[in-house]
Amino acid sequence: MEIWINPACSKCRSAIGLLDAEGAEYTVRRYLEDVPTADEIRAVLDRLGLEPWDITRTGEADAKELGIGEWARDAGSRERWIAALSEHPKLIQRPIITADDGTALVGRTEEAVREALSRGPGSSSTAL
């Protein structure tokens, strides 16, 4: 599994701590340094089953500067949102965990991180 993090984020640090405590195998992607391409964002959105506006941190200064709060949330605007996430990675909700079963989730809670762990083969985590 892979986890997209911002090391300054307390939710990201908590998720990493839980993954470590459970002995999970994962790779870390510091997405502010290793910025995802538009194609990678599309792929993660497909895995999440979400739209780009669902994972956009609309309260960020970059979002306000771009006027994202006024953008349409429809199929015709989808690529505009994806481009904004790729060009301004601070707008991406975090942490995002890509599970071993091909799905992904936003791991902002302990329950969500445990759900990601339960999606892996041979996981030793307990079900919720």
Task: Provide the pairing of β-strand 104-106 with 2-5.
Answer: unpaired
Contacts of 64 (CB under 8 A, 6+ apart): none
Rounded distance between C-alpha atoms, residue 75 and residue 8, angstroms: 33
Is 9 noted as a catalytic residue in this protein?
yes
| Three-class DSSP category at 66 | helix
Instruction: Characterise 53 by phi-psi region: left (phi > 0), alpha (psi -120 to 50), beta (else).
Output: alpha
Taken as a whole, the chain contains a residue count of: 128
Torsion sign (Cα): 31, 33, 34, 37: positive
Active-site position among 2, 6, 7, 9: 9
> Active-site residue numbers?
9
